[in-house]
Amino acid sequence: MLEHVNLDKVLFLDIETVPQSPYFENLDSVIQELWKHKLQFLKRDEAESEEDVYHRAGIYAEFGKIICVSVGYFIYQDKQRVLKIRSFCGDDETSLLKEFSSFLSNNFNKSSHLLCAHNGKEFDFPYLCRRLLVNRLKLPGILNIAGKKPWEIQHLDTMELWRFGDYKNFTPLSLLASIFNIPSPKEDMDGSIVWRVYWVEKDIERIVNYCQKDVITIVRLLLAMRGAEPLEDESIVFEI
């Protein structure tokens, strides 16, 4: 499986997102009303208030923002093939996305290149595109799928690959990591507390570390699906 994929042409990525403000009450009145409208479809319990549910706003590009994009790609270093990990992060979403967009345009701009994420087609890729547009930034070619035929879209999704055409359920990365005996990316935290770590604890380095672990897990998962040798820790380098 996936033998046709040239791993040297793949950019693996993961994003971390948070609500645009730490608390519902900090939003301007227009956005508050729009969030209340959205809330009608999100409540799990009628007793939940706008504030109770607001921590989940980060998963919606209209109410959230990107604070970290971590990527991984294979390079040759001292004649050895290694996975290089790099992150684009910070409080200024526009600057973060400019830097990431420039990286894509300069390094992953050919028809042979691919982007790979877990649930990327439903979350990471569209979220990136929406936030790029909100920030008045041009979409890099590899993200701009408008008018493209399905087989022309340069996106891989490990969750979609695992479905084998079955669309009945969502399979989290942590579950696939477990059944493939891949180290869990959720040892320190999971996505449900990213908003608190960012807005309350103000520990973005912890979030970057978590995001990078997800990228490494996605790489290891794709290798496992491919039947390839596992990626050892010694073959991972981090850009400082």
Best CA proximity match to 105, nearest among 153, 144, 70, 147: 144
| pLDDT, average across residues 151-179 | 90
pLDDT of residue 40: 72
- Walk me through the domains of the chain, giving residue ranges and CATH numbers: 7-20+63-238 (3.30.420.10)
Q: Report the share of the chain in percent with pLDDT over 90.
A: 68
Contact 213, 66 (CB under 8 A): no
When mean pLDDT is compared over 7-16, 51-60, 144-153, 178-187, the highest value belongs to 7-16
Q: For residues 134 and 128, give the distance between their C-alpha atoms in angstroms, rounded to a whole number.
A: 10
Separation between Cα atoms, residue 185 and residue 84, nearest integer Å: 17
**Residue 109 near residue 141, CB atoms below 8 Å:** yes
The rounded Cα 75 to chain-centroid distance in angstroms is 21
Side chain identity at residue 63, one-letter code: F
Calpha distance 72→136 (Å, rounded): 26
Q: What is the mean pLDDT of residues 144-150?
A: 91
Contacts of 132 (CB under 8 A, 6+ apart): 97, 101, 138, 139, 143
Looking at every residue in the chain, the average pLDDT score rounds to 91
Find tokens 């929406």 and name the residue.
130
Q: What is the pLDDT of residues 57-94, one digit of tens each?
A: 899 999 999 999 999 999 988 788 999 999 999 999 99
**CA 47/CA 221 separation, integer angstroms:** 40
pLDDT in tens, 198-209: 999 999 999 999
Look-up: residue for tokens 């996605």? 218
Summarize pLDDT for 114-140 with one digit per residue, the tens: 999 999 999 999 999 999 999 999 999
pTM of full prediction above 0.85 = yes
Tell which residue, 218, 211, 238, has the closest CA to residue 90.
211
Q: Where are the alpha helices (DSSP H) in the chain?
A: 29-39, 50-54, 93-107, 124-134, 158-163, 173-179, 194-199, 204-226
- Are the C-beta atoms of residues 82 and 124 closer than 8 Å to each other? no
Residue type at position 27:
L
CA-CA distance, 237 to 234, in Å (whole number)?
8
Q: In sequence order, what are the residues at sequence separation of 6 or more whose Cβ sits closer than 8 angstroms to the Cβ of residue 92?
A: none
